[in-house]
A and B are shown apart, each in its own frame.
Chain A
């Protein structure tokens, strides 16, 4: 059974499945007559995409560095250096310091870690809920559909910003994970509606009927035929959600919800630093740069995954056309 986890959709969950080693040399693949499952094929196609791989490596590195930085950085994010206020980058403060002597490097790393986690986790939660709700509503129809869509409509008319604002004070002091959950809980409805619509059309397609006539259970049909055929949209949605959540979190922090001082996120750093962007650029440039880099990385991974999943994408295919002239004819 393929285990194409597009539902995970955080951009870093690479489909797995099949036992074949993935580091087969490219030219060895062509002659193969042994079938491999979709999971393996998709992984191969993904690994062939240099840009996507770069994105994956960059994202992993950012995460690793931000997580391990307390081990090697000279300052912690909540420490104050009372001897240097608003200093540009130097040997002891790699990214400089703030007005009150905080180390910008330590803060940026802390913020990066927070923001990435919030962005990726929210996107993951939202796409999982959206795809489960959308696909089930569309596929099963009837009262399942009506019930789920009623919930979606209800959540859509509730002003999510306001609700988060109202609930946040109650959560103050408790884990920030709760905050992520809250964000995810309000981010999935529109996607779910779109996915439901797509499922309605997919459900009537003959290949789904064919699977039903084979006796495939509904869960399997949704996993195997419905979700992969909506993967492009889901991936785009995830990449957008990652970026927008990081920014939304900033907005919330501004009003005093979300990540609260002394804790920091990229968003709060950028907000605080951008007021004096021209005179003390180090306060904001590093945070801003890292935000751009991480969103770009997520986008590249998303593109790569999309191409890998979509058999019609040009990228992801390799040179085998040259070796097999018939393919050329068939496609023409």
Chain B
């Protein structure tokens, strides 16, 4: 218990000095283990923390670091096979060892949980309103009647920003979009005015714009209820803007704790540094070296003695393996800043800080590449051209004759081109038509409308042989590396497949496969393994090797890093950067994460509901976004820097993407446009009636000559104006 005693002293919230806030939740020496085939999995190994009322505690770490398990332990939701030790106290009451009935009383009323997947928290057969009302009735005591519960449910839905709450209260969960469901779950969570809300990756499955909304709702919820919040996430950016204090977890243990400013400004543990350095930043862009943390987290079954981060640590020295470093106050930092590393002193003594120190430490470099010159852009060959591309999916009514009653306008007049050696980032919320666009391109079939041009040939009128030839130069990497690799083929066959299809001889293939593996940073001993034996990042490398097998000229990347942990993502992004520089590839890079696009792309196209609303050079668009949607997207991306986050004003979009089967008239964005709301009535009328054409943007400099237009920056808004949001 002594370790815990020491712990609780320094972890007390310094912000409330003077009146020592009584801790709301105290977790001490929490140990959780599960039985497994190979032995006991020690998922949590001695975790201690406390949360004060009204405080937001962020818990960050890679997947598998024990974040979820520790919070499930607090909720008493672990499976019976789990062995739990230590102590968990809520307002002084010990929760470990309570019976299930007692626990469930506490769960509904005093502790609430928001899960990553909101569907699992909602019962599909009851309306959302009924479920919230039920939560109120079960825990609300005798004073609550059915009708007050109903009214309260409407109020709560309104509070979490569900438009038309009185109507929507009668909707079923499946009629809600992902973001709305998550908001409904938050409404349910705060229904009984809990003391503590545990949110486990509440925004991981959501789009950035919706993520911003949900985080905002969580903040509102906290203000309304005054509850403490434990916010679990793998995204340091999310933590920067919302948390007061942060715990970094690694291999089931806290390896660094402190206030959010301390952790971000002066991290004292190499792992935290690496995590920080691995995030591409919206406000830095190209010149930022990304820090990949090589290797995987250790197995939690039989941890060797010593620092668990040792095998991946650039500062590792023999002394690190002697014993596991304790979580001790970091030298030269605020007293509640603690780190578990024997070399924290050296980190404190270094003259660099933050990302710079991380890059130095992990030896990360910016990939030297010829900057793509926008002046000579016109002279370069168009490797991929899409002109007024249209793709409509018919909507049919049921019945025998399956009458067509409408069309989902997935892609509706998209025009862009990718020229040799450049990267075009295609961004937008999910459902806006990004994937449809690339599937149309990859299909090499004549589109419903418009035209596609690949490497100088129009797709219409291609013969079978032409198609085969073009496929050599046009390759794709999918989002989920596990799904895009046949689990039953070994690596050799996977990488060889495109070459076999193209009819290369066996000798060539045998020579080429190990070459490719080396190129993407896989070891050739791994050649006879199956994809299941690789980690996520390695699998994505296999996909990239396969795509490069035929030495293509254009690589289409469909969210290639969004399924990966940030530390792994950095490695893949670096690889893509390097390959591009080395092989002179052109990328069409689809992403919803604008910071990734900023890091890797030369140009960016922003899509909304099947149309491109803004397109141009990354620097111009990010520095001076002109379309309200671009501005909103950019402002929704968290920056991993608490200071910047506090200063930033957020543009919050209301509502969700409208259905592409029935898009709004005039400007498709008008239902959510923040600028629209501020316009005069006649200006608004124009937005409603006239679809804004895509025109050259006005230059950013105020002293530019009247009528001057930017050559390579288009925007589709009647009232486009610059607003800096980063």
Contacts and interface: CB of A to CB of B under 8 A. Distances in A.
B528 A36 contact: yes
A251 interface: no
Contact of A206 (B484, B493, B533): B484
B550 to A, nearest CB: 9
B527 interface: yes
B124 interface: no
A311 B497 contact: no
Interface stretch (A58-66, A93-101, A112-120, A322-330): A322-330
Nearest to A213: B442
B471 A215 contact: yes
A30, A216, A309 — most chain B CB neighbours (10 Å): A216
A88 interface: no
Interface in B249-277: none
Contacts of A91: none
B510 A34 contact: yes
A225 interface: yes
Contacts of A328: 299
B525 A33 contact: yes
Contact of B299 (A2, A214, A332): A332
Interface string A243-267: 0000000000000000000000000
B483 A41 contact: no
A214 B298 CA distance: 37
Given A35-B514, A207-B483, A213 B471 contact: yes
B527 A215 contact: no
Interface string B462-487: 00000110010001101010011111
Nearest to B485: A207
Interface string A2-13: 100000000000
B496 A311 contact: no
B530 interface: yes
A210 B478 contact: yes
Given A215-B471, A329-B298, A35 B510 contact: yes
B513 interface: yes
A1 interface: yes
Given A33-B514, A214-B471, A225 B496 contact: no
A78 interface: no
Interface string A129-169: 00000000000000000000000000000000000000000
Contact of B532 (A207, A311, A324): A311
B534 A37 contact: no
Given A215-B471, A216-B501, A311-B530, A37 B492 contact: yes
A225 to B, nearest CB: 5
Contacts of A41: 490, 528
B498 interface: yes
Contacts of A228: 486, 488-489
Query: Is chain A's binding surface mostly helix, strand, loop or mixed?
Result: helix
B448 interface: no
A209 B438 CA distance: 12
Contacts of A215: 467-468, 471, 501-502
A258 to B, nearest CB: 38
Given A213-B442, A215-B501, A216-B501, A309 B488 contact: yes
A229 B476 contact: no
Interface string B486-527: 111111110011101110000000100110000000001101
Contact of A330 (B296, B475, B528): B296
B301 interface: yes
Interface string A291-332: 000000000000000000111100000000000101111111
A211 B442 CA distance: 11
A281 to B, nearest CB: 44
Given A206-B480, A207-B485, A312 B532 contact: yes
B56 interface: no
B654 interface: no
Interface in A16-68: 29-38, 41
A329 B294 CA distance: 13
B478 A330 contact: no
A218 to B, nearest CB: 12
Contact of B483 (A1, A29, A205, A326): A205
A225 B528 contact: no
B300 interface: yes
B547 to A, nearest CB: 9
Contact of A311 (B476, B488, B513): B488
B476, B480, B513 — most chain A CB neighbours (10 Å): B476
B485 A311 contact: no
A289 B652 CA distance: 76
A220 interface: yes
A35 B490 contact: yes
B490 A206 contact: no
Contacts of B497: 211, 214, 216, 224
Nearest to A330: B535
A37 B493 contact: yes
Contacts of A329: 295-299
A35 B38 CA distance: 30
Nearest to B464: A215
Contacts of A36: 490, 492, 528
Nearest to A2: B493
Nearest to A37: B493
A35 B528 contact: yes
A210, A324, A326 — most chain B CB neighbours (10 Å): A210
Interface of B: 38, 295-301, 442-443, 467-468, 471, 475-476, 478, 480, 483-493, 496-498, 500-502, 510, 513-514, 524-525, 527-528, 530-535, 538, 546
- 9 tightest A-B contacts by CB? A35-B492, A332-B299, A311-B530, A206-B484, A33-B524, A35-B527, A206-B483, A215-B471, A207-B486
Given A210-B484, A312-B532, A332-B298, 8 more contacts: A36-B490, A36-B528, A41-B490, A206-B483, A215-B471, A224-B497, A311-B488, A329-B295
23 contacts: A1-B500, A2-B493, A29-B528, A33-B525, A33-B527, A34-B514, A35-B491, A36-B490, A37-B490, A38-B490, A38-B493, A206-B478, A209-B478, A211-B497, A213-B443, A214-B471, A214-B498, A215-B468, A311-B487, A326-B295, A329-B296, A330-B533, A332-B298
